[in-house]
């Protein structure tokens, strides 16, 4: 496996690997790889000749006061893990290699889908994500790119961007990987204290309770009732501060007060433990 740090070297290497006759899968990450990322890499390896894992902590998607500086970085460990999961190339550019000093071009998915849910607390986040993903797509020119369902809103935004801009990349969204007790894997879980870690299980428990209520209970298509089920579970925890609990259309992210029988639906939450912000979601009904 090769560790590559510049765009020129990446293009040259892909060319030498005969990329014109091969399929390329891209797994964009911010590093600090865990089993969730590795599941994306394995899936990419199944369906592509060449797998590129990008490791880039993108400054443009962090707002002021967010954890850009302290975000965990460990490229040696990331390379080991990526290789073990089947990566052919880890692309680890410097920020100066991605953004010119006077770079001013942004890709923005406008409207509700980037301004609700995580967009409320993180108003510039999805603009930073859409821009850097566009850049990575232009550099790597993959046939397929892999994203985790953990960042459900990000996946919807990227799919919308790809559709709107006619980007010739297939977007593959892979299931959330969870700890034994249900906590969704996240690089930010390591910020949690022992007590916070215990309480953090309430996110997946609350979501699971909503799934059960939706699939079995009476009144289960009422979004208000489902949100209450989730909120009740999380609110029991002393250190948990709910940022949002929402039931939305899984494709458009439109609010829904009563889940339509023919639409995919998603329950999504964001909860703060101290300075640590966790998100999680479960699909209530999948797309047909």
Among 34, 37, 115, 166, which one carries the catalytic annotation? 37
3-state secondary structure 241-273: EEEEEEEEECCCCCECCECCCCCCEEEEEEEEE
3-state secondary structure of 99: coil
Binding mask 39-68 for a second copy (x = CB under 8 A): ------------------------------
> DSSP character for 200?
T
Q: Nearer to a second copy by C-beta: 10 or 226?
A: 10
Of 117-125, 157-165, 219-227, 261-269, which part binds a second copy (CB under 8 A)? Answer: 157-165
Active site (annotated) includes residue 37:
yes
What is the Cα–Cα distance from 239 to 275, expressed in whole angstroms?
11
Q: Nearer to a second copy by C-beta: 11 or 47?
A: 11
Q: Nearer to a second copy by C-beta: 7 or 66?
A: 7
Which pairing describes strands 2-4 and 144-148: parallel, antiparallel, or unpaired?
unpaired
What is the Cα–Cα distance from 11 to 7, expressed in whole angstroms?
6
Q: Nearer to a second copy by C-beta: 143 or 280?
A: 143
In sequence order, the 6+-apart residues with CB closer than 8 A to the CB of 4 are: 10, 13, 89, 90, 91, 92
Binding mask 103-142 for a second copy (x = CB under 8 A): xxxxxxxxx-x----------------xx--xx--xx-x-
Site for a second copy in 63-102 (CB under 8 A): 98-100
Of 58-66, 156-164, 182-190, 231-239, which part binds a second copy (CB under 8 A)? Answer: 156-164
**Shortest spacing between CB 219 and a second copy, in angstroms:** 31
> DSSP character for 177?
P
Q: Nearer to a second copy by C-beta: 50 or 161?
A: 161
Q: Which listed residue (46, 95, 165, 236) binds a second copy by CB under 8 A?
A: 165
**Shortest spacing between CB 87 and a second copy, in angstroms:** 21
Q: Which listed residue (75, 124, 167, 185) binds a second copy by CB under 8 A?
A: 167
- Cα 182 to the center of its chain, rounded Å: 17
> Containing H/E element for 197?
helix 194-199
> How many CB atoms neighbour CB 155 within 10 A?
18
Query: Exposed e or buried b for every residue in 106-143, given b needs 16+ CB within 10 A?
Result: ebebeeebbebbbbeebebbbbbbbbbbbbbbebbebb
164 counts as binding a second copy under rule CB under 8 A: yes
Catalytic residues: 37
Residues that bind a second copy (CB under 8 A): 7, 20, 98-100, 103-111, 113, 130-131, 134-135, 138-139, 141, 160-161, 163-168
């Amino acid at each position: 496996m090769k560790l590559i740090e510049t765009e020129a070297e990446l293009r040259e290497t892909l060319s030498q690997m005969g990329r014109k006759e091969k399929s390329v899968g891209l797994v964009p990450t911010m590093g600090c790889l865990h089993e969730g990322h590795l599941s994306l890499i394995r899936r990419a390896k199944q369906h592509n000749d060449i797998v590129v894992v990008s490791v880039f902590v993108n400054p443009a998607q962090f707002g002021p006061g967010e954890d850009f500086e302290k975000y965990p970085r460990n490229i040696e460990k990331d390379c080991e893990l990526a290789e073990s999961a089947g990566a052919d190339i880890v692309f680890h550019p410097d920020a100066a290699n991605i953004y010119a000093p006077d770079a001013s071009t942004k890709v923005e998915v406008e409207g509700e889908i980037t301004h609700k849910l995580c967009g409320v607390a993180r108003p510039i986040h999805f603009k930073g994500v859409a821009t850097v993903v566009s850049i990575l797509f232009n550099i790597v020119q993959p046939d397929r790119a892999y994203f985790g369902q953990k960042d459900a809103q990000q996946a919807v935004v990227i799919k919308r961007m790809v559709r709107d801009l006619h980007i010739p990349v297939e977007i593959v969204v892979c299931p959330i990987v969870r700890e034994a007790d249900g906590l969704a894997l996240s690089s930010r879980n390591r910020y949690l204290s022992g007590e916070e870690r215990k309480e953090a299980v309430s996110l997946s428990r609350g979501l699971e309770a909503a799934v059960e209520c939706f699939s079995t209970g009476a009144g289960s298509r009422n979004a208000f009732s489902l949100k209450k089920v989730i909120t009740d579970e999380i609110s029991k925890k002393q250190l948990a501060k709910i940022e949002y609990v929402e039931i939305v259309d899984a494709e458009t992210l439109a609010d829904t007060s009563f889940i339509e029988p023919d639409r995919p639906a998603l329950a999504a939450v964001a909860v703060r433990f101290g300075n640590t912000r966790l998100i999680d979601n479960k699909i209530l009904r999948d797309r047909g």
